[in-house]
Amino acid sequence: MRRAPLYSASSRRSQPPAGAADSSAAEVPVAAATLAPPTATATRRRLWFVTASAVLLGAALAAALLLRFGPPGARALTQDDIDRAVLHTLNTKALPAPAAKAFEAVRGAVVKVIGLSERKEASAKANQDDKKAKRAQPEVERDGDETEREERGIGTGVVIVDNGTILTNLHVVFGAKQIKLIFADGLEADADVIALRPEHDLAVLRARKIPDDLKAATMRSTHDLRLGERVTAVGFPFGIGPSVSHGVVSGLKREFRSPEGQRILTNLIQFDAAANPGNSGGPLVTDEGEVVGIVTAIYNPTEERFFVGIGFAVPIENAAQAAGMPPF
């Protein structure tokens, strides 16, 4: 191994070249210059350097032996020791809740979907109201009917491609004249329907404007989904949200008939995480934050529209195919 020089380059350049005449050096005998005894300071420095080197070498050797063999007399760790340490950590450290982790992983991809319909008021009625309020003023003419937008349905969507491609339920946007989205950062944008899959109650939307940092959700195949596996539903029940509920997969390959009996959905994931009107179109998420389904329906044997413990989601494979994406 090449040894490091003892002098810097500038120090070597300051020395006289070999063979150069130096009257003061020439007057000193070579033997005297070679055999001159070292000074006391040089001797102390040499002793300090040797001692420090020995201490460092000993410390390094001791550390290596400790890492390799453990402290003197110590026994090897057993599986019981490891289990006790893990149990102690679980009992003394607060771990993040699975639902919280799942929500954090998907929250940026969840959007509020609002379907708007037209509300028309006859100009004759408007004129009558004006006359009653302003009898002292001349009558004002109006051109035709006035058109406003009103909310006809609120649901949830999930971004599956970061260009603003969003999955939701068909019944959320069906019949809407205008579709409005509200992203996680508060950005509002209109959306267009680019694909439909009525047999799975799915609609694919494309936002006309998206946040700069929009991220798509991660999707996971349901091939190995098991009964009892924990899942989290994220959405806007009754327009409130984003809201999070947590439960388990309680059934697979279920069928559901709409209350009107007009449509039968098949191959559904049954779950018991609380869902209500407004959750429709939202993601059903695993503890790892991966989307396995799109929440589409709740079962209630009465005419009331609230959750009694059974919800259904369309498997993400069907949802991805609706968006023209290849299956898993």
* Peptide bond between residue 71 and the one before it cis (omega within 30 degrees of 0): no
Peptide bond into 242 cis (omega under 30): yes
Between CA 251 and CA 226 the distance in angstroms is 9
Instruction: Please write the tens of the pLDDT for every residue from 245-255.
Output: 999 999 999 99
Q: What pLDDT does 89 receive? A: 81
- Specify whether the CB–CB gap between 279 and 295 falls below 8 A: yes
- Residue 289: pLDDT over 60: yes
Structure token digits, residue 31: 């033997």
For residue 280, pLDDT beyond 50 = yes
Nearest to 257 by CA among 304, 312, 305: 312
Alpha-carbon separation of residue 210 from 27, 164, 207, 311 (angstroms) = 88, 6, 6, 30
Which has more pLDDT, 84 or 34? Answer: 84
pLDDT above 70 (res 220): yes
Which domains, from first to last, does the chain contain? 105-207 (2.40.10.10), 218-322 (2.40.10.10)
Residue 24 reports pLDDT greater than 50: no
Say yes or no to pLDDT of 72 above 70: no
Grade residue 64 by pLDDT with cuts at 50, 70 and 90: low
What pLDDT is recorded for position 133?
A: 44
- Rounded CA-CA distance 326/324 in Å is 7
User: Taking the mean position of all CA atoms in its chain, how far away is CA 23?
Assistant: 80
* Measured distance CA(217)–CA(196) in Å, rounded: 20
| Phi and psi at residue 142, to the nearest 5° | -125, 145
**Cα separation, 171 vs 51, whole angstroms:** 83
Least confident residue range of 105-109, 122-126, 278-282? 122-126
Q: Tell me: pLDDT of 82 over 90.
A: no
Contact present, 218 and 192 (Cβ < 8 Å): no
In this structure, what token pair is assigned to residue 85? Answer: 């340490």
- Contact in structure between 232 and 284 (CB atoms under 8 Å): yes
Please give the positions annotated as active site. 171, 201, 280
Helix, coil or strand: residue 254:
strand
- Give the number of other Cβ atoms within 10 Å of residue 246's Cβ: 20
- Is 268's pLDDT higher than 60? yes
- Which DSSP letter does residue 123 get? H
Would you say residue 45 has pLDDT above 80?
A: no
Confidence label for 187 from pLDDT (cuts 50, 70 and 90): very high
Closest residue by Cα to residue 113 from 26, 195, 204: 204
How far is it, in rounded angstroms, from Cα 267 to Cα 2? 72
Closest CA to 110 of 296, 327, 281: 281
Stretch 292-306: mean pLDDT, rounded? 85
Distances (CA, A) of 119 to 142, 177, 191: 17, 11, 20
**How much of the chain, in percent, has pLDDT values that exceed 70?**
65
| Residue 152 scores a pLDDT above 60 | yes
CA 197 – CA 222 distance, rounded (Å): 19
Instruction: Please tell me the predicted confidence (pLDDT) of residue 110.
Output: 98
